Structure 1
Amino acid sequence: MLGAAPAQSACRLALALGLDVSGSVDALEYRLQLDGVAAALEHPETQAALFDMPGATVALAVYQWGAPDQQYVLVGWTDLTGPVQLQQVIRQLRGANLRFDDPYTGLGAAMQFGASLLAQRNDCWSHTLDISGDGPSNSGPHPGTINLGMSPEITINALVINPGGRDNVTKDLTHTRTLLDHYRVHVLRGPGAFSETAQDFEDFRAAMTRKLLRELRPPTLSQLDADG
């Protein structure tokens, strides 16, 4: 059984997960996302990657976002020093049920919120913002033009749901052809940034597991030359 790390552990990674639950996300899709993150964290390989460096822990925060003025922290900063702390996070995710009803998608504002969360963990060696979404930014600051004031420097990765989508409602992919292009051009930032894809919400759990494993493990040479 995996044991707890020493009480005076250093923080090797601050990881903030931002989940898109704007008004276009229905109740089933909401649960598929939150339960998908919980299941990804429970995966044996994820747990091994979380706890493979005793004395150098991962700090995790999870928030949901929608319109530019809608962000809510589901899990505040938690140092994952062992399985007990991880199970507390998983229970919080499975018990969450707050949904937003505003149809707009404030992706830029969600990035700003995540960056402000990461700024609270200057004690960590590295900082990663993990943004997932199923639509392009269509309200609030545009993700491609905002200045996040990268102090500390952060990496922003993306999990794109329905990556081939072209958004039939807003027609606003900002000079990109698909939703995946939109995220790659306007969202990815920082050292080693990459994108992962889920074909639909049913595929979210598997995609989140792949993404977490890549974020928690040291990059391979092939990963250094690609964005996913």
Structure 2
Amino acid sequence: MRNLAFIAALLIGLRPALAQDAGDIEVDVELVLAADVSRSMSPSELEIQRRGYAEAITSNEVLATIGNGMIGRIAVTFMEWAGNDLQTVVVPWTLIDSAEDARAIADTLTSEFHGNMRRTSISGALTEAARLFEDNGFHGLRRIIDVSGDGPNNSGGPVVPARDAVLARGIVINGLPLMTMDGFSFRWGIEDLDAYYLNCVIGGPGAFMIPVYDWSEFAEAVRRKLVLEIAGLPVAPGAVGARLRRANGYDCMVGEKIWQRNRQIWMDP
């Protein structure tokens, strides 16, 4: 298994060895879990999200995948995000090479739950997530940002330039678009959020996404996603939705346009 993971990592692109600083701990993956806590997320959904990540990261499947890596350990940080300047690190960079390490992260995630915040800035989240890799004390064969969210970018800079700047640093971006619809989503969201993530958010060697259509699926989707990310193996066809293809001319400014439209409605007498 370790040989398979090593070969797969070579195929999808390893981080250059020269980038390592003396004293950094070597890991298979440096992983930023970036979770949306914008106002469209209800308090119960925020709790489901935290508990889903906690359940996934302590699952036997994820722990076995970590142990089967070439090095056998990963580094993880958990960041919540909303508007352009609203990002909070909930779990600082933590080494996982045992079930106890994973349980400590889960305990932190579920010890308390905070409220949501205004706006949705995927661009801000990606930029801040990329910054978290700097001088974090770890050197991973791969660096991945795993971003989940229930709506398109509508705050801060456009998402595509932010994404491209992250990809230029050799960081892979995977996605977990939350396709759960409610009253807030009908006003501020889009029906094809999976296509938006495919065309505007994810990128890099082996990048993929797993849409979530119901909150009951969330923990399982995160578990599956973590296994694929940590193993570094090719993603099976259909993981991004069999009907989806990258589309030329997809409007990656759709979120900003929805914000302006709704704002104008509110401002009109």
TM-score range, shorter chain: 0.7 to 0.9
Aligned match of 1:138: 154
Aligned match of 1:93: 109
Do residues 159 (structure 1) and 173 (structure 2) align? no
- Give the secondary-structure state (helix, strand or coil) at the position aligned to 1:132: strand
Q: Distance in 2 between matches of 1:37 and 1:168?
A: 26
State which of 143, 147, 162 in structure 2 corresponds to 1:127.
143
State which of 158, 165, 168 in structure 1 corresponds to 2:186.
168
User: What does the per-residue CA deviation read over 1:196-221, in whole Å, with 9 as the maximum and x for residues that have no partner?
Assistant: 0111222211111111111111314x
CA contact (8 A) 1:163 1:199 kept: yes
Q: 1:199 corresponds to which letter in structure 2?
A: Y
User: What does the per-residue CA deviation read over 1:146-188, in whole Å, with 9 as the maximum and x for residues that have no partner?
Assistant: 25354641110000111789953247x6xxx611111111101
Aligned match of 2:204: 190
Select the structure of larger CA radius of gyration: 2
Q: Distance in 2 between matches of 1:190 and 1:58?
A: 19
Do residues 64 (structure 1) and 80 (structure 2) align? yes
State which of 20, 25, 44 in structure 1 corresponds to 2:60.
44
CA contact (8 A) 1:67 1:139 kept: yes
Question: Once structures 1 and 2 are overlaid, which stretch shifts more, 118-127 or 159-168?
Answer: 159-168
Do residues 212 (structure 1) and 230 (structure 2) align? no
Q: Give me the CA root mean square deviation.
A: 2.4
Misfit runs of 4+, over 4 Å = 149-152, 163-167, 224-227
Do residues 35 (structure 1) and 39 (structure 2) align? no
Do residues 114 (structure 1) and 132 (structure 2) align? no
Instruction: Determine what percentage of the aligned residue pairs are the same residue.
Output: 25
Aligned match of 1:5: none
In structure 2, do the counterparts of structure 1 residues 25 and 62 end up closer, same or farther at CA, with 3 Å as the change threshold? same
Do residues 15 (structure 1) and 31 (structure 2) align? yes
CA contact (8 A) 1:132 1:160 kept: yes
Aligned match of 1:178: 192
CA contact (8 A) 1:12 1:126 kept: yes
CA contact (8 A) 1:136 1:167 kept: no
User: What does the per-residue CA deviation read over 1:76-116, in whole Å, with 9 as the maximum and x for residues that have no partner?
Assistant: 000112122111111001113122332x1111101111111
Aligned residue pairs total 214
Gaps of 5+ in 1: 1-7
- Give the secondary-structure state (helix, strand or coil) at the position aligned to 2:83: coil
Q: 2:202 corresponds to which letter in structure 1?
A: L
> Which of the two has greater helix per residue?
2
